[in-house]
Amino acid sequence: MVKVLGTRSIYSTRNLWSGFLCGLGLVAFIDETVFHQLLHWHHFYDRSTTDIGLVSDGFFHAFSWFATVGGFFLLADLRRRNAFWQTRWWGGVLLGTGGFQLYDGTIQHKVMRIHEIRYVENVLVYDLIWNAIALVLLIAGIIVTIRTGKKAKAELSQ
Amino acid sequence: MNMDHVHEQAARSLMGPAPQLILALPFVCALILYVWAVIHSNRRYKKWPLYRTVSWSAGIFLAVAAVAGPIAKMAHHDFKVHMLGHLFLGMLAPLLMALAAPMTLTLRTLSRDKARMLTRLLKSSPFRVLSDPFFASILNIGGLWLLYTTPLYSAMHENMLLHIFIHLHVFLAGYLFTISLIYFDPIPHRTSHLYRAIVLLIALAAHGILSKVIYASPPEGVPVNQAEAGSMLMYYGGDAIDLIIIFILCLQWYKAARPKPAIIHL
pLDDT in tens, A123-158: 777 778 888 888 999 998 999 899 988 888 888 887
Question: In this structure, are residues B139 and B175 in contact, taking their beta carbons and an 8 Å threshold?
Answer: no
Q: Closest Cα of chain A to B108: distance in Å?
A: 33
- Residue B22: count other Cβ atoms within 10 Å of its Cβ: 17
Listed residue (B194, B208, B193) closest to B239, CA to CA: B208
Listed residue (B139, B136, B27, B6) closest to B72, CA to CA: B27
Task: Give the chain A residue nearest B202 (alpha carbons).
Answer: A59
Cross-chain residue pair A69–B250, CB shorter than 8 Å: yes
pLDDT in tens, A74-84: 999 999 988 89
Q: Looking at the complex, does the CB of residue A59 fall below 8 Å from at least one CB of chain B? A: yes
Q: Closest Cα of chain A to B57: distance in Å?
A: 28
pLDDT class of B194 with cuts at 50, 70, 90: very high
Residues from chain A that touch B246, judged by Cβ atoms under 8 A, are 65-66, 69-70
Tally C-beta pairs within 8 A across A and B: 68
The structure's pTM equals 0.87
What single-letter amino acid sits at B179?
I
pLDDT class of A1 with cuts at 50, 70, 90: very low
Helix-then-strand count for chain B, H and E: 15, 0
Cross-chain residue pair A81–B259, CB shorter than 8 Å: yes
Percent of chain B residues topping a pLDDT of 70: 92
Task: Give the chain B residue nearest A77 (alpha carbons).
Answer: B254
- Residue A56's pLDDT is 80
The DSSP symbol for B259 reads: P
Ranking A65-69, A128-132, B151-155 by mean pLDDT, the lowest is A128-132
pLDDT class of B15 with cuts at 50, 70, 90: low
pLDDT class of A20 with cuts at 50, 70, 90: very high
Chain centroid to Cα B106, Å, comes to 19
Domain spans in chain B, listed from the N-terminal domain onward: 3-257
- Residue B140's pLDDT is 94
What single-letter amino acid sits at B66?
A
pLDDT for residue A119 is more than 80:
no
Is ipTM beyond 0.90?
no
H/E element holding B122? helix B112-123
- Residue B1's pLDDT is 40
Q: Closest Cα of chain A to B191: distance in Å?
A: 18
Residues from chain A that touch B239, judged by Cβ atoms under 8 A, are 61, 65
Q: Looking at the complex, does the CB of residue B254 fall below 8 Å from at least one CB of chain A? A: yes
End-to-end CA distance of chain A: 14
Q: Which residue did the predictor score with more confidence, B222 or A22?
A: A22
Question: In this structure, are residues A67 and A22 in contact, taking their beta carbons and an 8 Å threshold?
Answer: yes
Average pLDDT, chain A: 83
